Structures are given as C-alpha cells and as structure tokens.
C-alpha cells in the first residue's frame, strides 16, 4: 500500500491540523516530515512523520488511581493528559510495563492502523535527534536506528509553516540522496552507503502504521 503524493501531503496537513486544534495526549512542539515525501517522490511508499513532544509539567497525577482502575493503565495524568484520556479512553495505550505510553497514544490519536505511515516521537527536536541517533547507530553498529536527516518542518512552537507546505506541494524542496546526507553528517562514503541500504531495507519491511518513541 502506498499513497499518492497529493494524498500523502493532505494526510500530513490533517495531522498538523489535529496537533494545532485538538487536545493531544502530550504537548506537541514540532511536526516534521522526512524521507520520501520530503524528496518529492510520487507515490510515497511510506509517509514518515516526526513529532517533538514536551513532557507534562503540570499533570493531573491525583487521578492516576482512578484511570488505572477504569482503564487498567498506570500513569494517566502523569505521562499523558488526564483531560485527553477522559475524552478518548479508547485511544489510551500502555507500554510493556502497563504505563501510559505517550508515543503510542499519539499514534492512536493521529493515525489509522492500516495507513502506510511511520511516526517518530521524541522529546528532542528533529535536528538534534538526527545527530543523537547517528551516534547511537555507529556505537551499536545498527544502521536501522538512524533517523533520515532529510526533513522539512511544518509546525513549530504553535505556528504552522504554510510556506514549507507550499514548497512540498510544488516540489521546490531540493534534498540529496540518503547516503550523501549521511556523508555530510560525517560518515565515510562506505559506511554511508551501507547505512542507507540497511535503513531502506528496514523501511521496506514495515507495514501499516508504525511508531517509535525515543528519549534524548
């Protein structure tokens, strides 16, 4: 399953609309697209979206026991908003330890299960996390942990970028190949080519909506 370029960009616009106007499980500071859709490909095999989330500073932890009793999930009001969980109890998702998982809750709110969309969720900005993930991938020797650095910011600090979306729709964004991008970040040519091949192969194996959470 793939998306036409217009459908992919319409889908991204709908995600930005939701972040801008709806109560999210956690505050969202940035929304980026990266990879195929940023390159201007048509169709888009997988739509890659990056979300920078903020940690809840003033939660509603006194209601955690209530939500755990009603939903069987710990930490509601601490790691995700109680008001959101109250409005969307069917979208509350937990990690393996039974605690409310912000990245899973965001994916449940923003994506449909069968969509060819990958959502990356982190507390760090896209550009900072590209660097962090590159260092981690080199250390572990696992290039599938890389974050494709070819991204376009569509929403930041409460403001959406209509100009960035226009450039995406008009195909005005010029970006290098993935291997070249990785060389620009400091990988030698051989490692950059190997990394690009491994990351593309990993992406080709993904089906439906997927999400990965990260903390830097």
The secondary structure of 11-66 as a DSSP string is: HHHHHHHHHHHS--SS-EEEEEEETHHHHT-SSBSSEEEEEEEPPPSS--GGGHHH
pLDDT in single tens digits along all 216 residues of the chain: 889 999 999 999 999 999 999 999 999 999 999 999 999 899 999 999 999 998 876 666 778 888 899 999 999 999 999 999 999 999 999 999 999 999 999 999 999 999 999 999 999 999 999 999 999 999 998 999 999 999 999 999 899 999 999 999 998 998 999 999 999 999 999 999 999 999 999 998 999 999 999 876
Q: What size, in residues, is the chain?
A: 216
* Within-domain flag for 84: no
Bridge-based pairing state of the strands 47-53 and 117-122: parallel
* Within-domain flag for 67: no
* Within-domain flag for 149: yes
The residue segments making up the domain with residue 19 are 5-51+103-214
- Give the number of domains in the chain: 1
* Within-domain flag for 156: yes
* Within-domain flag for 107: yes
pTM, to two decimals: 0.94
Strand order of the β-sheet with 47-53 is: 159-160, 151-156, 28-34, 47-53, 117-122, 210-214
* Within-domain flag for 96: no
């Amino acid at each position: 399953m793939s998306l036409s370029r217009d459908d992919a960009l319409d889908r991204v616009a709908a995600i930005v609309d939701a972040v801008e106007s709806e109560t999210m499980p956690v505050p969202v500071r940035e929304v980026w697209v990266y990879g195929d859709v940023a390159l201007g490909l048509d169709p888009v095999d997988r739509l890659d979206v990056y979300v920078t989330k903020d940690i809840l500073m003033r939660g509603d932890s006194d209601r955690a026991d209530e939500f755990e009793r009603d939903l069987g999930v710990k930490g509601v009001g601490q790691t995700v908003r109680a008001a959101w969980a109250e409005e969307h109890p069917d979208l509350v998702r937990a990690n393996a330890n039974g605690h409310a998982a912000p990245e899973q809750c965001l994916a449940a709110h923003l994506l449909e299960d069968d969509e060819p969309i990958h959502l990356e969720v982190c507390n760090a900005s896209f550009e900072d996390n590209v660097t962090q993930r590159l260092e981690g991938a080199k250390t572990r020797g696992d290039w599938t942990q890389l974050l494709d650095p070819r991204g376009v910011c569509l929403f930041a600090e409460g403001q959406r970028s209509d100009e960035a979306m226009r450039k995406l729709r008009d195909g005005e964004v010029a970006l290098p190949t993935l291997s070249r991008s990785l060389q620009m970040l400091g990988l030698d040519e051989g490692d950059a080519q190997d990394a690009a091949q491994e990351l593309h192969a990993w992406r080709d194996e993904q089906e439906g909506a997927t999400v990965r959470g990260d903390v830097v």
